[in-house]
Amino acid sequence: MRCIQEIVSRFDTELEWRVFDVRGKAEVPDLTYDLFISTGGPGSPLDGDGHWDNKYFNWLDSVWDWNKNPDNPRKFVFFICHSFQMAVHHFDLAQVIRRRSMSFGTFPVHLTRTGLQEPLFQGLNNPFYAADFRHWQVVQPNRERFFKMGASILAIEKERPHIPLERAVMAIRFSPEMLGVQFHPEADPEGMIDHFQHPERRDVVIDEHGLEKYQDMIDHLNDEDKIPMTHDIILPSFIRRSLQAIGRQAVLA
């Protein structure tokens, strides 16, 4: 959340914004807002209490229905990790299942042919690197639903020929106004380095994931062509391009 707020704060002269506590207080924004950033977890994307999750899905449907009317000004949504998985499940675009083991660290993400043309990813390498911390994954895309919705897969998990598992879907454009990713583009390299170099946290990571993975993560955080590039391009591009599409000062949830 801190990282998202830091990125949003760069646009303080162009928009007004507010944070909604969806799971804690069942708060959802109304449609007076122009842009929405839906955050990550923790927890299972398939679990809710029947209250906050229903309010969230009703909000999501309201934005979708609003954008179906060509006379309405566009409402833009960016989903991150946990909320991306929730949206995929809600729209029945793929299976959302638990991973055999937690994805933890920084990993390459491979753009599809469609992803190479995605404006929000312009300037990224292929593959690009992303911070990825999750117990769940999106797999087995429902091609019929993708076609019906006009959605497209933009990125997939790194190829692992030695592991007989399907690669997870890592980014989807749901519509011209909605895009989501199954990683954390907001991850702040400096903040992550400070967090994971704390001796107690470092030792926990090494104990659970190994020294090699820990060192790879720190190296990627320091490499300007990896996590810093992802941080500087994707979410700022979403906000900037949405503002340009709206053509006026915006309000952001």
The reported pLDDT for the residue numbered 121 is 97
User: How far is residue 218's CA from residue 160's CA, in Å, rounded to a whole number?
Assistant: 22
Architecture of domain 2-188+230-252: 3-Layer(aba) Sandwich (3.40)
Burial class (CB in 10 A: 0-12, 13-18, 19+), 109: buried
- Give the confidence band of 230 by pLDDT, cuts at 50, 70, 90: very high
The reported pLDDT for the residue numbered 252 is 76
Q: Look over the chain and give the mean of its residue pLDDT values, rounded to a whole number.
A: 90
CB 118 within 8 Å of CB 173: yes
- pLDDT over threshold 80, residue 250: no
DSSP state at residue 170: E
Beta bridge partners, 77, equal: 36, 178
- Give the confidence band of 161 by pLDDT, cuts at 50, 70, 90: low
> Over pLDDT 70: what percentage of the chain?
96
CB 227 within 8 Å of CB 220: yes
Question: Which has more confidence, 217 or 78?
Answer: 78
Q: Where are the domains of the chain?
A: 2-188+230-252
β-pair type (152-157, 95-111) = antiparallel
Token pair, residue 216, equals 């790879």
Q: Please tell me the pTM assigned to this model.
A: 0.90
